[in-house]
Amino acid sequence: MPKVTQQHMDARRKQILDAARRCFLRDGFHSTSMQDLFAEAQLSAGAVYRYFTSKDEMILAIAEDNMRDVLDITLAVAANQQGRSMGEVMAELLDVIRVKSVEEDVAGLAVLVWGEAMRNRSLAQGMDHFMGRIRANLTTLVREHQENGGLPVDVSAEAIASTMLSVLPGYILQVALLDPAVVAEVPDAVRALWPGPAAGGR
């Protein structure tokens, strides 16, 4: 039997998750059966179960994929700010969400995942883990901006990071439910609200 390459396994995993996204967006999590997923992916039950043992695993994998780009940006910026303001960092995160929503309806899936996380403990724990890592990266950035005079120092870095992180769900909800024109200028507004040290120094 020929050896299955990692590239083949990655492509098959993507095929399954893409099919799951389409099903979940069309019918919701609970109305989608495993048989629906097999048919949408055009794969046998065995082929799907080789990668995911349940719908819950697929939901968590999709949620993690959705969050990973946002996490990667905060990791990269935390390692090397390149002189960017907090507003620019937040605007970049919003731009990623917008682009991925156009390509994969990430915003719509995020809203479904939030609702599911209210009843699914493992999903809630996974979301808490990712959000915690993003919050930690933003906290590091906030501290550096506080030291540079770009953000107030009479409020904790953790509180400011949590406040900035609160922008993301509100933006995602609007992208999912409203006309794109409604939120088109939000990234620019975020840049203006949190300028760099030169514009917003002590």
The pLDDT assigned to 2 comes to 61
**Exposure string (b/e) for 180-202, b if CB count within 10 Å is 16 or more?**
eeebeebbeebbeebebbeebee
Specify the CATH number for the domain of residue 14: 1.10.10.60
Same domain, 73 and 39: no
What is the span of the domain harbouring residue 122? 55-200
pLDDT in tens, 173-190: 999 999 888 999 999 999
Number of domains within the chain: 2
Residue 18 has pLDDT above 70, yes or no: yes
Same domain, 110 and 31: no
CA 146 from centroid of its chain's CA atoms: 26
Torsion, Cα 186 100 157 132, to 10 degrees, reads 150
Same domain, 120 and 182: yes
Where helices occur in the chain by DSSP H, the ranges are 6-27, 34-41, 45-49, 55-79, 86-104, 106-117, 121-147, 157-177, 186-193, 197-200
The pLDDT assigned to 171 comes to 93
Same domain, 90 and 168: yes
CA atoms within 13 A on the CB side of 176: 16
pLDDT in tens, 126-169: 888 888 988 988 898 889 888 888 788 999 999 999 998 899 88
Last residue of a domain, one of 21, 36, 53: 53
Last residue of a domain, one of 23, 38, 53: 53
Same domain, 87 and 138: yes
Same domain, 167 and 154: yes
Rounded-to-integer distance, Cα 114 and Cα 33, Å: 20
Last residue of a domain, one of 31, 53, 75: 53
When mean pLDDT is compared over 4-8, 34-38, 90-94, 151-155, the highest value belongs to 34-38
pLDDT in tens, 70-79: 777 777 766 6
